Chains A and B, each alone.
Chain A
Amino acid sequence: MHNIMKNIRYSNLSFFYSLSLFLIIILSAFQVKSQEDGTPLQIDITGGKIQPMPIAISFFSTKGEINENIKTLTKEIPDLIANNLVNSGFFKLLDRQAYMQKPEALVNRPKFRDWRIIDAQTLIFGIISKKPQDKISVSVQMWDVYGERRMLGITLSIKARSWRRIAHIISDKVYERLTGETGYFDTRIVYVSETGDQKNKVKRLAIMDQDGANHKFLTDGKSLVLTPRFSPNQQLITFFAYRNLKSGLKPSVYIYELSTGKIDILGEFEGMSFAPRFSPDGKKLVMSLAQNGSTNIHLMDLKTRNLKQLTRGRSIDTSPSFSPNGKKIVFNSDRSGGRHLYIMSNRGKDIKRISFGRGSYATPVWSPRGDYIAFTKFTRGRFYIGLMRPDGTAERLIAEGYLAEGPTWAPGGRVLSFFRQTPKDDETFKTRIYVIDITGNREREIITPEDASDPAWSPKYNVRNN
């Protein structure tokens, strides 16, 4: 009995030996095969084409009960989205006449082959339906045509009359998904509206959507308003103004509360305060203070209203602007003769000159993306809007004019706005706000009812008080 068991055990063992030997032989055969394949071919691809992405934005379709208004929105909403996206310089809208699939047919699932024929890389379409209380609901889908997968699906509802807001929010979502950057379409621009002749200018604070729609005046024109700036929470606007107070005409920095319309003077200083700008956290305000013949940069804590002097000396230091992380401040100064740009820490230390070109530099603004500083440059009798890296390299000019000034960044740091004055035939001037992207392409004017200067772009997600 014991013997038999032993035999079985041995036979089992030899079975395992042979089996493992067999498997090792088979696997070594594979090894040879895989060695034959060798390491895969490795190729670096460094070319490619840089060009706007071709997108298809179909007219929207409707669901359920509809009315005339909704019917027009099936065209107006996609048109506004297309307009936003194309103006960003990232996208090219494909001609709708070439679309083979009708909006109604898209609802189930797009026929990707039809869209590949016109080389649409991305397809956007939507459905509008009527909701109670004058509301509409808009569902939008975005598809990757070559990858045949859905990239975005959102449904929003809003009062029908605020349809532009929905189109802007959708534009932001699409833009953010396709570029990886912060959208800037659902934002507003505050600026100085100018009326009257050169001598008796009335300057009022006004606000509008970034595309010029929903225009509104904020101040009455009794005080002369300059350099408005948004706070990071979009609720406050700071500006410099000569105001008619009982005590007389007082030039100073003020704060305007958007939701209430309340205007507050920012401290009583000896001398004149101007060129205010918020810190990225919105808790501090950096500005220039002219006292006893010298102009220095000061930092004010908005809660305690404590003032801290950052720069010293007899030179004129002005136009301070924080870096997006709040650690540095760029400003302009005449400390070395001509007007140039300088960078310092947020405590006023480590001052370093960054601009070295010909001409004078002014109004530096740090991009929200952190990679550029926009500025105004005056050289050989012309004004330019330019960009440079924060270390002063890669300077380039993207716009010019008889008078071009006051760059302001849109959220995301890819697009900026500025104003330009152009002489007219009758020896008066036309002053308008323009928008341009950092590549220097696609400059366009924003339509305003009167002359417009000193634009300031709001941060994202503003709160509306209609």
Chain B
Amino acid sequence: MRNAAYTSIFFHLFIFIMIFYNLPSFKSNALNYVSVEIVTAKLEEPVKKEIIKPNRPEIKPLKKKIIPSLPVDKPKTLAIDKPVPLPIDKPVIKQTNNDVSDPSKIVPDLPPTKPIFKKDVFDDMLKNLAEDEPDLNSETIKELKKVNAENVTSKNSKASISPHLIAMKIARQINQNWTRPPGLKNSDDMAVPVRIRLRIDGTIINIRVLNRSSDPTYIVYQEAAERALNRLKKFDGLPPDKYSSWKIVELNFIPVNP
């Protein structure tokens, strides 16, 4: 009898503990570490393709993909090298240098100003003309540089990134992708809570809407929130060393109509 009672108590205890601490965290932990290497391998290729395309949607992936690749010792990626000979770039480069907290890393890589220009840059220019469409205007490059600088600073000042800054980065990237039609019914209870799980490279691997409703207007807002995340796919610039703080994020999409 006693034996049976103990067994029963034990199994109940076991089940309660399992319910409380939730097994699946085994799985997700295992998943999270797989990807790091693969990402850097992929990075170099798409850069070339996407620079050529002038459309707005194409520019975004460009940003995303370049960021991780730049800090890897060689800032001399295709994206930066090509535009350098163009005279427009000079001031831009200087600007970024000012921004960067540790300029020694970048300055030597980006000085091909006048001297090089005279010698063999002509060939480069021709190449550029052939390879790039004239659309690689200063704005795109500026944007690139900005992202660059941001990334370098973030790398350098890892320790100082506060949870608040991470939250701001996440919010900014979602806001860029979150669209909803004008003049939708206004209501206070249309906020959509969503829990997302992220990989260490920033990729969204799971989207879970925490509150569901059959209200057709709520469904519209819910789908807009899901679409924003599906469209974004991956966050940029989140510090890997703080991964544990942003592995799971709870978002609350609050549609505020102006």
Interface residues of A (CB under 8 A from B): 9, 12-13, 16, 19-20, 23-24, 27, 30-31, 33-34, 36-38, 40-53, 89-91, 117-119, 121, 144, 146-147, 176-181, 369, 371, 414, 437-439, 441
Contacts and interface: CB of A to CB of B under 8 A. Distances in A.
Contact of A42 (B7, B244, B252): B252
Residue with the greatest number of chain B CB neighbours at <10 A, chosen from A46, A51, A369: A46
A41 B248 contact: yes
Interface of B: 2-3, 6-7, 10, 13-14, 17-18, 21, 25, 57, 163, 166-167, 170-171, 174-175, 178-186, 195, 215-220, 223-228, 230-231, 244-258
Given A43-B167, A146-B227, A180-B216, A33 B25 contact: yes
B244 A147 contact: no
Closest 5 CB pairs of A and B: A48-B178, A180-B217, A180-B216, A47-B175, A146-B230
Tell me the dominant secondary structure on chain B's binding face. Answer: helix
A180 B184 contact: yes
Nearest to A24: B17
B185 A20 contact: no
Given A13-B6, A41-B245, A45-B251, A50 B257 contact: yes
A438 B3 CA distance: 74
B220 A180 contact: yes
B252 A44 contact: yes
B237 to A, nearest CB: 15
Contacts of A118: 57
Nearest to A48: B178
Contacts of B166: 41
A189 to B, nearest CB: 21
Given A33-B25, A38-B244, A40-B248, A45 B171 contact: yes
A439 B25 CA distance: 48
Nearest to B247: A37
A49 to B, nearest CB: 5
A224 to B, nearest CB: 37
B215 A48 contact: no
B57 A117 contact: yes
A53 B181 contact: yes
Nearest to A148: B230
Contacts of A31: 21
A41 B174 contact: no
Contacts of B170: 41, 43
Contacts of A33: 25
A82 to B, nearest CB: 16
Contact of A180 (B218, B227, B246): B218
Given A37-B248, A179-B184, A12 B3 contact: yes
Contact of B226 (A147, A181, A371): A147
Contacts of B258: 50
